[in-house]
Amino acid sequence: MAKKKYSISVFFPCYNDAKSIKKLVEDSFIILKGLTSNYEVIVIDDYSTDGSRKVLKNLSKKYRGLKLVFHEKNLGYGGALRSGFNASSKNLVFYTDGDGQYDVKELPILLSLLTKDIDIVNGIKMSRQDPTYRIFVGNLYSFVARWMFFLPIYDVDCDFRLIRRTLLRKLNLESNSGSICVELVKKSQRAGAKFRQVSVHHQERRWGESQFFRVDRILTTFFELGKLWIKLMVTDKMRW
């Protein structure tokens, strides 16, 4: 793909991803250099305890353009995404998880689909490479969220997204849990955003710990999803 004049921020939320974040950062710099001269790479470390910060500090010595944000306490997945959106300064914002289950080298696919009439390009997992119980919980979550909120995309649980920053500036995101993805998509829809979807590869998680697939996190996320439904689908509608 020839270099374009667009500018792009790429960021990764990181929680105990010491063994996967290095490759993601390195791959990002390689792919971005071939796409545009105006880019930045950001990692949001959500108070990792596994040595991720040491890895990131070493990477910052190699890549001067690497921007690091360190949380002083664990804010959850939503808190990490909000920090990433706030730290991003370019016209386009792309993010995916720091666990390496998505391939950042597929970013050009999303860029090719971001035409002038599109605000968000969202991935759809071709085949989820997770243990059976995670596939079940993840599919259930996406199904429930899609119908509770009448979402315009199929796979809200696919964290491989390219978004226009002009859209992000219109949104007031509040969630700290994984429910932020539903909040992001629904508030974008109400802001008039146009979506496009594309299949992307999903790889087996080899290292690290998921922020979502823990009993306490799952319960918190579903609880916050319920609160979000009341706010967006009941309270806000009553104001219209």
Q: Is the pLDDT of residue 2 over 70?
A: no
Calculate the average pLDDT of the chain: 90
Q: Which domains does the chain have, with CATH numbers?
A: 8-239 (3.90.550.10)
pLDDT reported for residue 208: 54
pLDDT reported for residue 187: 97
pLDDT reported for residue 3: 64
What digits encode the pLDDT tens for the residues 92-151? 999 999 999 999 999 999 999 999 999 999 999 987 766 676 777 778 888 989 999 999
pTM for the predicted model, two decimal places: 0.91
218 versus 193: which is more confidently predicted? Answer: 193
Split at pLDDT 50, 70, 90, the class of 82 is very high
Asked if 109 and 96 touch (Cβ cutoff 8 Å), the reply is no
Query: Where do we find the tokens 């996320």?
Result: 221
pLDDT above 70: percentage of residues in the chain: 90
What digits encode the pLDDT tens for the residues 62-75? 998 899 999 999 99
**Across 196-209, average pLDDT:** 82
210 versus 185: which is more confidently predicted? Answer: 185
pLDDT reported for residue 220: 77
Q: Is the pLDDT of residue 215 over 70?
A: no
pLDDT reported for residue 53: 97
Q: Is the pLDDT of residue 240 over 50?
A: no
155 versus 137: which is more confidently predicted? Answer: 155
**Across 3-9, average pLDDT:** 85
For 213, residues 6+ apart whose C-beta sits below 8 A from its C-beta are 134, 137
For 162, residues 6+ apart whose C-beta sits below 8 A from its C-beta are 92, 93, 94, 107, 110, 111, 114, 120, 121
Split at pLDDT 50, 70, 90, the class of 57 is very high
**Across 5-15, average pLDDT:** 95
End-to-end distance of the chain based on CA atoms, in angstroms?
45
What digits encode the pLDDT tens for the residues 33-52? 999 999 999 999 999 999 99
Adjacent-strand bridge partners of 41: 10, 66
Range 60-64, long-range pairs (CB < 8 A, 24+ positions): 63/25, 63/29
Distances (CA, A) of 210 to 6, 14, 91, 149: 33, 10, 29, 25
